[in-house]
Structure 1
Amino acid sequence: MSRLIVSVVVILVVVVGGLFLLAGRATERPQTQVEKAVTLANLS
């Protein structure tokens, strides 16, 4: 009986860990834009 309980707990931990992993990957990170002043001498 205890083996069954341990197996169920291990499966639950793996499933919950996988869900958190997938949820962490699915979050979109906003891109930050950095604007710099560039002199015209650098462009040529």
Structure 2
Amino acid sequence: IQLLNTKQLLFLIDLDELCGYMKHVNMNIGLSLENAVLNPRHLK
């Protein structure tokens, strides 16, 4: 088994955090779209 070097490890951690961040952003976008569908008046 090849051990990951520090740079690769940091990169993987960054990717993991990025994925978590993107999920959070997508959830917010999803909620915004849902609100827009439920309350069309808010879109002007």
Superposition TM-score tier, normalisation by shorter sequence: 0.5 to 0.7
Unaligned runs of 5+ in 2: 1-9
TM-score, normalised by the number of residues in structure 2: 0.59
Q: What is the number of equivalent residue pairs in this alignment? A: 30
What fraction of aligned residue pairs are identical, expressed as a percent? 7
**Larger RCO, structure (CA 8 Å, separation 6 or more):** 2
Q: What TM-score, normalized by structure 1, do the two folds share?
A: 0.59
Q: Structure 1 residue runs of 4+, over 3 Å off?
A: none
Q: CA RMSD in A?
A: 1.2
Higher-Rg member (1/2): 1
